[in-house]
């Protein structure tokens, strides 16, 4: 379920948020609202299914150390990601949808990488 939800979040980012930065304001707003609904419905899996996936992959005896390491990595990414995303948004007096083009590409690319990683882990765990 985690992999499926990640793929759907990625598709919604690339199919809805990315185009919403390039079209006329009314159409872009509708696409962005639809994106917010889709992403909001499926991105919750990152938080809720992640611990269960770690237990399934590494076992309950290794959960604390693996979970701690991965949350540390997520914390570092959060500390770096927010300033990078802010730097990507170009301020031209007022924020316009086109200002978010780079951020939507970055988000879609990172979700795509996470989807590929999830598919790889899923394949490797079936081999073992």
Q: Is the pLDDT of residue 64 over 70?
A: yes
Residue linked to tokens 């490797």:
124
Each residue of 14-56: pLDDT tens digit?
999 999 988 877 888 899 999 999 999 999 888 889 889 889 8
Write out the DSSP string of 44-98: HHHHHTHHHHHHHHH-GGGHHHHHHHHHHHHHHHHHHHHHHHHHHSPPBSB--GG
Distance CA 57, CA 50 (A): 11
Other CB atoms closer than 10 Å to residue 53's CB: what's the count?
17
pTM of the model: 0.84
Q: Report whether 32 contacts 20 (CB < 8 A).
A: yes
| Residues in Cβ contact with 60 at an 8 Å cutoff, skipping those fewer than 6 apart | none
Mean predicted confidence (pLDDT) in 88-94: 66
Each residue of 69-83: pLDDT tens digit?
988 998 998 999 888
pLDDT at 23: 82
């Amino acid at each position: 379920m985690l992999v499926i939800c990640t793929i759907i979040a990625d598709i919604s980012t690339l199919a809805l948020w990315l185009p919403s930065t390039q079209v006329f304001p009314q159409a872009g707003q509708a696409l962005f609202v639809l994106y917010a609904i889709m992403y909001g419905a499926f991105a919750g899996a990152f938080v809720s299914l992640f611990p269960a996936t770690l237990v399934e992959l590494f076992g309950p005896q290794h959960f604390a150390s693996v979970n701690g390491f991965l949350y540390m990595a997520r914390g570092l990414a959060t500390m770096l990601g927010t300033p990078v995303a802010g730097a990507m948004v170009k301020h031209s007096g007022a924020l316009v949808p086109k200002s978010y083009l780079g951020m939507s590409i970055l988000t879609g690319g990172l979700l795509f990488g996470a989807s590929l990683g999830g598919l790889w882990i899923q394949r490797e765990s079936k081999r073992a």
